Amino acid sequence: MATIVLGICGSIAAYKAATVASRLVKLGHEVHCVCTPTALQFVTPLTLMTLSRNPVVTTFEDETGSWVPVHIDLAQRADVLAVVPATANTLASMAHGQCPNALTSLYLAYRGPVLLFPAMNGMMWDHPATQENARILAARDGHRIIGPAEDGMLACGTSGKGRLVDEDCVVQEILSVLPQ
156: pLDDT strictly greater than 80: no
- Among the options 9, 35, 156, 169, which is catalytic? 156
Q: What percent of the chain has pLDDT over 70?
A: 89
Instruction: Count CB atoms within 10 A of the CB of residue 143.
Output: 16
> Do 21 and 44 form a contact (C-beta atoms < 8 A)?
no
Element (H, E) at 93: helix 88-95
Tens of pLDDT, residue by residue over 28-63, are 999 999 999 999 999 999 999 999 999 999 976 655
b/e per residue 38-55 (b: at least 16 CB within 10 A): bbbebbebebbeebbebe
Provide the pLDDT for residue 163: 81
Q: Could you tell me the pTM of the whole model? A: 0.93
The domains located in the chain, with CATH, are 3-81+92-114+167-177 (3.40.50.1950)
Tens of pLDDT, residue by residue over 91-145, are 999 999 999 999 999 999 999 999 999 999 888 899 999 999 999 999 999 999 9
Nearest one of 38, 44, 29 to 80, comparing CA atoms: 29
Single-letter residue type at 82? A
> Do 63 and 36 form a contact (C-beta atoms < 8 A)?
no
Cα separation, 154 vs 141, whole angstroms? 31
- Mean predicted confidence (pLDDT) in 144-161: 73
- Cα–Cα distance list, 170 to 12, 102, 123, 153, 166 (Å): 16, 22, 23, 18, 7
**Active site includes 99?**
no
